[in-house]
Chains A and B, each alone.
Chain A
Amino acid sequence: MWIKYIFITVLFYLLAILQNSFFAHFNLFGATPNLVFIFFLLIVFFEKQRLNYIIIFYASIAGLLLDIFSSGHIGVSMVLLIMIGLLIKKIHSLLSEKNEKYSFIYFFTLFLFSFIIYKLSLGIYFYFSNDQNNLINFDWKIVFDMIYNLFFASIIFGVYKKFFAGRLDNRQLSLFNK
């Protein structure tokens, strides 16, 4: 079972490096895909157990990596993702899980909601901490950033659902449950 968490941690790490190096060349109007954030949301969305400590663990790893590869203090994204993760867990439990064909619509909505919360909270933090270097302007570029990330999120959602969603929780797979 613990191998699953190591695998996810390594995956988060690789995604953080990819978004800061490879995908930096694919920025449009300054927007780059936030792969760590997208993957974190996917993990929380598809995580069947949804225990608080699991969400906190994922949020801590994802947030730590986001903070390390950006300027500013370590821990800001960590705290924000913990809050977002727990909020998603609460909202998701209220949604109907009987019909899986609506899962993309649920994810789409949760992603937009979480992205706005994340950017807004970061902007408020940088504003009140007087971190002029990292101020976020809430203009059309933020909307474009959201759409651009949603594009990548949709692709990764499809890949994740097809190849990983069942397998990472399948107790019959001994590889991830030792």
Chain B
Amino acid sequence: MHQTKNIFGNKKNLFFLKFLIGAVSLLLFLGVINLFNSQIKNNFYSVSYPIEQNFWFAGQSTSAFFRSVFNSGNLMKETENLKNENQKLLSQITFLQSIRNANEAQSDVSVACQNREFEFIMAGVIGLDNQDKFTINKGSDDGIKEGMPVINQQNALFGKITEVYKNFSKIMLISNKDSVINVKILQNQNNDSISEIYGVLKGNGGFEAYLDLVPVDDTIKEGEILITSALEGTFPKDLLIGKISLVDKNDQSPHQQAQVKLFLNIETDNLFVISNYKK
């Protein structure tokens, strides 16, 4: 008796064949789709933009309401702290002004002049993904290019453009885990001089970042301000980053670290993309 083996009659083989064809088709389909990745995403964002923007503003208002409810007990204390901080900053400004005046004759470009030479593209934030990336409503049609720095009105650094579509872009925030920036810490020592300590700011996700690679011999304190140093050339110098909230010093390590409270704020409507920063 001959048993004729029919491969295609075997149920198991048929299932395997179907699965294989399905998997290969899916992968091919996805491969083709990814060739048009930016066009698909841009079209999708264009269609979703009106709804997304409205939900973004609604989320802002709602979260502000809940924050005011939960923080109502701390308002007086916070006001007092802000007043003290304001006075401290005013005195620092006065001190820095005197330094700038003294050096103006020698320096080529002051901080204010440097900023006035920049050209900005104003963009609105419409979304945030779970990788610390904002979506903004400006794209290549508006002159946006990858690598452009992004700041807010108060000169606080938010990040840089990492993905550009036709009408939308994504900003990788400085709190993104892949973000590494050279920074300097401004210190006011006995009102006679300003010393600068250099370090590296590393993103930690969740809008958090920490300062690293600060020599253990240097003294850094809570409340000191971090600004960009422009050593790596990605960001202009003297942009506000944040302030030190907790120092982690270990004498057995050649470097110390510190938690940083960033100045970037999710509750922001408009950002400014620096379009003509030359490295």
Q: Which segment, of A24-32, A41-49, A166-174, faces chain B?
A: A24-32
On whether A27 and B206 interact (CB within 8 A), knowing A21-B126, A69-B129, the answer reads: yes
| Cβ contact within 8 Å between B59 and A23 | yes
Minimum CB–CB distance for B120 against chain A, Å: 24
Instruction: Report the Cα distance A161→B193, complex, angstroms.
Output: 67
Instruction: Report the Cα distance A20→B129, complex, angstroms.
Output: 6
Residues of A within 8 A of B178 (CB): 132-133, 135
Q: How many A-B residue pairs have CB under 8 A?
A: 100
Residues of A within 8 A of B172 (CB): 133
| Cβ contact within 8 Å between A137 and B205 | yes
Partner of A25 from the list B53, B63, B130 (CB cut-off 8 Å) is B63
Minimum CB–CB distance for B25 against chain A, Å: 12
| Cβ contact within 8 Å between A134 and B131 | yes
On whether A17 and B162 interact (CB within 8 A), knowing A25-B60, A133-B131, the answer reads: no
Instruction: Report the Cα distance A20→B163, complex, angstroms.
Output: 17
Q: Give the interface SS of chain B, mostly helix, strand, loop or mixed.
A: mixed
Residues of A within 8 A of B135 (CB): 20
| Cβ contact within 8 Å between A17 and B55 | yes
Q: CB of A90 within 8 A of chain B?
A: no
On whether A30 and B205 interact (CB within 8 A), knowing A70-B130, A74-B30, the answer reads: yes
Partner of B56 from the list A22, A75, A79, A137 (CB cut-off 8 Å) is A22
Residues of A within 8 A of B51 (CB): 14, 17
Minimum CB–CB distance for B256 against chain A, Å: 21
Partner of B206 from the list A21, A26, A29 (CB cut-off 8 Å) is A29
Interface size on A, residues (CB 8 A): 32
Q: CB of A68 within 8 A of chain B?
A: yes
Interface residues of A in 92-135 (CB under 8 A from B): 132-135
Q: CB of A73 within 8 A of chain B?
A: yes
| Cβ contact within 8 Å between B55 and A141 | no
Minimum CB–CB distance for A131 against chain B, Å: 9
Instruction: Report the Cα distance A30→B208, complex, angstroms.
Output: 8
Interface residues of B in 201-234 (CB under 8 A from A): 205-208
Q: CB of A80 within 8 A of chain B?
A: no
Q: CB of A78 within 8 A of chain B?
A: yes
Instruction: Report the Cα distance A20→B168, complex, angstroms.
Output: 15
Interface size on B, residues (CB 8 A): 42
| Cβ contact within 8 Å between A30 and B130 | yes
Partner of B34 from the list A24, A27, A31, A73 (CB cut-off 8 Å) is A73
Minimum CB–CB distance for B266 against chain A, Å: 6
Instruction: Report the Cα distance A2→B226, complex, angstroms.
Output: 57
| Cβ contact within 8 Å between B56 and A30 | no
| Cβ contact within 8 Å between B206 and A30 | yes
Partner of B44 from the list A14, A34, A68, A78 (CB cut-off 8 Å) is A68
Residues of B within 8 A of A18 (CB): 55
| Cβ contact within 8 Å between A24 and B37 | no
Instruction: Report the Cα distance A114→B51, complex, angstroms.
Output: 30
| Cβ contact within 8 Å between A135 and B48 | no
Residues of B within 8 A of A71 (CB): 129, 131, 133, 162-163, 170
| Cβ contact within 8 Å between B40 and A21 | no
Residues of A within 8 A of B175 (CB): 30
Residues of A within 8 A of B41 (CB): 68, 74
Residues of B within 8 A of A13 (CB): 48
| Cβ contact within 8 Å between B267 and A25 | yes
Known: A22-B62, A74-B33. 13 other contacts (CB 8 A): A14-B51, A17-B55, A20-B52, A20-B135, A24-B127, A27-B128, A27-B266, A29-B206, A69-B129, A70-B131, A75-B33, A135-B177, A141-B205
| 14 examples of A-B residue contacts, CB within 8 angstroms | A17-B52, A21-B56, A21-B128, A25-B267, A26-B63, A27-B206, A27-B266, A31-B130, A71-B163, A74-B30, A75-B34, A78-B30, A133-B131, A133-B133
Which residues from chain A sit less than 8 Å from chain B, CB to CB?
A: 13-14, 17-18, 20-27, 29-32, 34, 68-71, 73-75, 78-79, 132-135, 137, 141
Smallest CB-CB A-B distances: 8 pairs: A30-B206, A75-B30, A24-B128, A25-B63, A25-B59, A21-B55, A22-B59, A20-B127
